[in-house]
Amino acid sequence: TQLLEQSPQFLSIQEGENLTVYCNSSSVFSSLQWYRQEPGEGPVLLVTVVTGGEVKKLKRLTFQFGDARKDSSLHITAAQPGDTGLYLCGRPGANNLFFGTGTRLTVIP
Amino acid sequence: DAGVTQSPTHLIKTRGQQVTLRCSPKSGHDTVSWYQQALGQGPQFIFQYYEEEERQRGNFPDRFSGHQFPNYSSELNVNALLLGDSALYLCASSRRLFTGELFFGEGSRLTVL
C-alpha cells in the first residue's frame, strides 16, 4: 500500500490567518487530488494536479504538486469559518482513488 | 440531477448482527465504490462494483460483501459485526470505473454496541 501521510493532523486557527497543509509519500504519483469533507457530508473534489511543479488556484486556495510528484501542499489565504472541514489528498490507483490520513481544519470566527 | 443517495443515514447494531447499507449512484454513473471512514481518519477503500461485478477490493475481510443491481444501485453487507466496524460508510459513484472524479454520498453512520 502506497501511504499518503498528511500533516498536520489537526489545525485550529483564527479567521483571517493563513495556513498550509501537506500531503507526502515515498512513491511517485501520476496525479493527486484534494477533497474537502464538511461535517455531515461526503468529500467533494477541489482540484486535480498532474504535472510536477504544477500550481493551481481556487479563489483563496493554492495547490502545488511537488517537482518529483511525491508530495503536494494546500495553502489557504485569509481563512474563513466556511473553510472548516477535513482536507483529504487522494492518489488515483487502478481505476480508483486511495486517500491520505486527512487534516482536520477548524477556523474560529 | 440527483446526486449520490445513501440509506439509512444512521443505525445502531449489536455485536454479531448483520447490516445492509444501500446506495444509489449519481445519474449517469455506472460504478459504485464503498469506503469506510473511522472517526478522524481518511476513507479506506472497501471495494468497487462495475457491471454488477466486484472489480477491486481493499484490505477488508470476507465479512464485508456487496452487490450491484442492474440499475447500478449497490448494497454493502457486513456480517458478524464487531465493535471496530463502527464508522461512517461512504458510497462514491463514477463513470466507467473511474474517470477522474468520485462523487460521494453523505454516508451511513454505523454504531456497533
Which tens digits make up the pLDDT trace of A21-51?
A: 999 998 898 899 999 999 889 999 999 999 9
Determine the structural domain holding residue B73 and report its residue range: 5-112
Spell out the domain ranges in chain A.
Answer: 5-108
Number of domains chain B contains: 1
Q: pLDDT by residue (tens digit) across B33-59?
A: 999 999 888 999 999 999 999 999 999
Q: Which of A86, A97, A100 sits opposite B102 (nearest CB)?
A: A97
Q: Are A80 and A107 in contact (CB under 8 A)?
A: yes
Classify A5-108 by CATH class. Answer: mainly beta
**What is the distance between the alpha carbons of residues A92 and A30, in angstroms, rounded to a whole number?**
8
Residues of A in contact with B44 (CB under 8 A): 99
Question: Minimal Cα–Cα distance from B25 to chain A, Å?
Answer: 13
Structure-block grid coordinates of residue A97: 482513488
**What is the distance between the alpha carbons of residues A85 and A72, in angstroms, rounded to a whole number?**
18
Q: Quick one: closest CA in B to A100, which residue?
A: B42
CATH number for B49: 2.60.40.10
3-state secondary structure B44-94: EEEEEEECCEEEEECCCCCCEEEEECCCCCEEEEECCCCHHHCEEEEEEEE
Does B48 reach chain A within 8 Å, measured CB to CB? yes
Does A109 reach chain B within 8 Å, measured CB to CB? no
Separation of CA A89 from chain center? 5
**What is the distance between the alpha carbons of residues A109 and B6, in angstroms, rounded to a whole number?**
32
Does B97 reach chain A within 8 Å, measured CB to CB? yes
> If DSSP codes are grouped into helix, strand and coil, which group holds residue A82?
helix
Tens-of-pLDDT digits for all 113 residues of chain B?
679 999 999 999 999 999 999 999 999 999 999 999 998 889 999 999 999 999 999 999 999 999 999 999 999 999 999 999 999 999 999 987 677 789 999 999 999 99
CA-wise closest residue to B35 among A101, A99, A38? A99
Q: Are B109 and B8 in contact (CB under 8 A)?
A: no
Q: What Rg do the C-alpha atoms of chain A give, in angstroms?
A: 13
CB contact under 8 A, A99 and B90: no
**What is the distance between the alpha carbons of residues B110 and A49, in angstroms, rounded to a whole number?**
34
Percent of chain A with pLDDT over 70: 98
The single-letter DSSP state of residue B9 is S
